[in-house]
Structure formats: C-alpha cells, structure tokens
Amino acid sequence: MLRNYHVTFVGAGSMAESIIGGLLSKELLAPEQITATNNSEKERLTYLSDQYGINTTSDKEAAVGKANIVVLAVKPKHVEEAISDIQSVLGENQLLISVLAGISTAYIQKLCQKEIPIIRTMPNTSAKVGASATAMTPGSFASKQDLAVSQSLFQAIGTVTTLEEGKLDAVTGLSGSGPAYVYYIVEAMEQAARETGLEEQEAKELIIQTLYGASKRLQNTDKSSRELYKEVMSPGGTTEAAFEVLESHGVQHGLQKAIERAVKRSEELGVSSKTPTSS
C-alpha cells in the first residue's frame, strides 16, 4: 500500500479505468486515495464512483490540487486543453504521469510551463487484471525517487520496462495497442469455432486456455517463436494445412505492417499535437 499518496486521474476513460481497477484490486491504493475527473461526461464519473468507490468530481482544479500524483489520461488531441485546464494548480512538488500515445515529455513540460517532474508511460488495458506490459521513461525534471514511485505504481498492475524515450512510439505500436491485436485474432477463432460446430462457451474455454498456455510456454523456454510453432506442426497434418492458408493470405506480413503503422501513428500523434489542425 502506498500510504500518504493521493492519485488524481485527469481523463476517466478506458485507460484510466484499467489502471484504477488494477491498483485497487492489488490494494496498492485505497479507493479514497484516488480521484478521477473528466471533461464533461458526468455519468461516467458516477459509474466510476459506484463501481470502484473512488472520489470523482467535475472540478478539475480541485481534483489536481489535492494530488501528489497526477495521471494524465486524456486522448493525445486533448493534451493542450487538458493541461491548460489544470496548469494553474500544477505544482513542482507533484509528479505528473502521462499515459498518452505519442506525446513527448518535453512537449508536456512546455505546456505545464513549470519544472514539474514528468514520467511518460505506455501501459495497456491488461492493467485492469494486473497484467499490463508497461514501458516508461523519465522527463528532464524527474528524480530517481519519482521514477521509483511510478515503477511501483505500475508494477502493481503488471510488468515495467524502463527505457529511453525514443523507443516509446515503438512500444506503443507493439504492447500499447497489442491487446487489441490479440482480441482481433480471438474474434476470428470464435467465428471459426462457431462455423465448425462448437458452442460459444466450449470455444471460449478452449481459446482462453490455448492463449494462456502459449504465453506461459513462451515465458518458460529459450526456443524461438518459429521453433515453437514448428513443434506444433506434424508433417502433412492440420497445422501445416492451416499455415498454407495463413501464408497465402499474408497474415504475418499484414500483422507486421499493422504494428509498423501503429508505431508511425504514435509518431504522428506527437507531431500533430503541436499543430492547430490536430485531430
């Protein structure tokens, strides 16, 4: 439990909820140590306070004023507006943790107009079940202590990799968006299972255990992913037949290109946030 901390989430969407859910279920923070605020959607704040017992308020300045840690969790296109709304109450004794794709610590620093410590992170929605793969990097004014506190917050909800800021866009395309790629593949598996006669619940159990087993196997072996899928293939068998179809549709190439596009998009978000035409 992190005592004597109050963490305020500026932005109360999917990512904020995933982190809040994870922190509470790991009991790193008590509900009364957390406040969430957003721009306008009052029902969302009511839902979060009912669901998690946390404090919520539409008064952004009050929410930020009482925090020692502020987690910025708005969309990249709202970064200027969100920081401008809270700039007057942000203090150099607070720690600002950003989860925004593409937005650099230098840019956030500039918007804050203060030497506030900033940690840029890229978690993913598996935070909600304590299994985020989070990468983080410290900004210019972040101390070792600020980094350590941020690491312990995110370690409570998964793994933490600390690396240089230049790699954060690559991380965003890989593991920030990563859960979505997996769910997309699962959707195809579900559809195929339905088409070939399995009940929804039967398929669900089998798919989840298959993903879990493959993930655990990857964790516990020195073998490459190629060696692992070759292990599954019997000559002339079902997997080989399946791979012929995957190859003919360029599935692996498509996934690789998709991740590269996501990385590029993260870079673009960083650039477009600095122009008035950002979307």
Ligand X SMILES: NC(=O)C1=CN([C@@H]2O[C@H](COP(=O)(O)OP(=O)(O)OC[C@H]3O[C@@H](n4cnc5c(N)ncnc54)[C@H](OP(=O)(O)O)[C@@H]3O)[C@@H](O)[C@H]2O)C=CC1
Ligand Y SMILES: O=C(O)[C@@H]1CCC=N1
Footprint on this chain of ligand X (rule: CB under 6 A): 10-16, 37-41, 44, 60, 73-76, 78, 81-82, 85, 99-101, 122-125, 176
- Residue 20 CB, shortest distance to ligand Y, in Å, is 17
Is 121 a binding residue for ligand Y by CB under 6 A? The answer is no
d(CA 113, CA 152): 27
DSSP string, 94-136: SEEEE--SS--HHHHHHHHTS---EEEEE--GGGGGT-EEEEE
Q: Which range touches ligand Y (CB under 6 A), out of 148-156, 170-178, 199-207, 222-230?
A: 170-178
Q: Which does 267 bind (CB under 5 to 8 A by kind): ligand Y, ligand X, none?
A: none
177 near ligand Y (CB under 6 A)? yes
Nearer to ligand Y, 22 or 176 (CB): 176
First to last CA, the chain: 39
Residue 172, token pair as written in the block: 């965003």
When the beta carbons of 29 and 63 are compared against ligand X, the nearer one is 63
Q: Which residue carries 């972040």 as its tokens?
A: 142
Output the six-digit token pair for 64. Answer: 């930020």
- Choose, by CB under 6 A, the member of 22, 176, 270, 273 that binds ligand Y: 176
Residue nearest to ligand X (CB): 13
CA separation for the pair 255, 268 (Å, rounded): 20
Confirm or reject binding of residue 101 to ligand Y (CB under 6 A).
yes
Two tokens, residue 5: 């901390």
Nearer to ligand Y, 129 or 242 (CB): 129
- Judged by beta carbon, residue 149 or residue 174, the one nearer ligand Y is 174
Rounded Cα distance between 221 and 231, Å, is 13
Q: Residue 78 or residue 114: which is nearer to ligand X going by CB?
A: 78
Answer for the pair 91, 63: CB distance below 8 angstroms, yes or no.
no
Binding residue for ligand Y (CB under 6 A) from 146, 172, 203, 263? 172
Q: Provide the minimum distance between the beta carbon of 18 and ligand Y in the complex, in angstroms, as a whole number.
A: 11
CA distances to 104, 166, 170, 258 from 261, rounded to whole Å, are 19, 17, 10, 5
Q: Which does 85 bind (CB under 5 to 8 A by kind): ligand X, ligand Y, none?
A: ligand X
Q: How far is C-alpha 80 from the geometric centre of its chain's CA atoms?
A: 20
Tell me how far, at minimum, the Cβ of 75 lies from ligand X, in Å.
Answer: 5
Give me the least distance between CB of 176 and ligand X, in Å please: 4
User: What single-letter DSSP state applies at residue 12?
Assistant: -
Ramachandran region, residue 36 (left: φ > 0; alpha: ψ -120 to 50; beta: rest): beta
β-pairing verdict for 69-72 and 55-56:
unpaired
11 in contact with ligand Y (CB under 6 A): no
Nearer to ligand X among residue 51 and residue 252 (C-beta): 51
Q: Rule CB under 6 A: which residues touch ligand Y?
A: 101, 172, 176-177
